[in-house]
Amino acid sequence: MDALGDLPIVSVNELCRYVGQEVGMSDWVTIEQRDIDDFARLTRDDQWIHIDRERAARERGGTVAHGFLTLSFLSYLARSISFRIADVTHGVNYGFDKLRFTSFVPCGARVRLRQTLKAVEPKAGGMALTRHCVMEVDGSDKPALVADWITLVYTAAPAATTGGEAPPVGRAASSVARAG
């Protein structure tokens, strides 16, 4: 079976077929010092390891991206993966499970995202999609971060018959789809 990223647009009801499979890998993107500086200014996180080029070069070999800046790239990189769902009107972040920053991202490094669809289940009048995310750093054996990213997606059709919960996706009413 093809990975979801290789398929045309699918419906929410077809997603269960892809639970447990890699659904895509983004292109590489370079995290530049201007990205780090802008993030530091916006978040007021001006720790020297991010913005003091001279000290960072002397003590660490160079500046590094903020962990939360790296995390923020998930949205952009996920959009570059062909993970499109036909009947979704909008989606929102619900949260993260098992988020870990496992290595630094040096300024100028390239990162990319790999995603595996971990679970699809009814939640809050929509569907909760859990994607296992691995942010890879070019040339490194360790990823920059790993996390299970949970997003809620909503369709145009209201979930009228299930007391506000969206109907189950491709399964009996009492089950959800989860990776082993």
| pLDDT 10s digits, 22-70 | 988 999 999 999 999 999 999 999 999 999 999 999 999 999 999 999 9
13 against 7, higher pLDDT: 13
74 pLDDT above the threshold of 50: yes
What's the mean per-residue pLDDT of the chain?
84
| pTM, full prediction | 0.80
Q: Can you list the positions of beta strands (E) in the chain? A: 22-25, 29-30, 88-101, 110-123, 126-137, 145-155, 177-178
Q: What is the pLDDT averaged over residues 151-160?
A: 72
* Alpha-carbon dihedral 73, 77, 103, 55, rounded to 10 degrees: -50
Q: What is the pLDDT of residue 137?
A: 98
Q: Cα separation of 86 and 4, whole Å?
A: 13
Q: What is the pLDDT of residue 177?
A: 57
Tell the CATH superfamily of the 4-161 domain. Hotdog Thioesterase (3.10.129.10)
1 pLDDT above the threshold of 50: no
Q: pLDDT class for 13, splitting at 50, 70, 90?
A: confident
Tokens for 33, please give them: 């010092």
11 against 31, higher pLDDT: 31
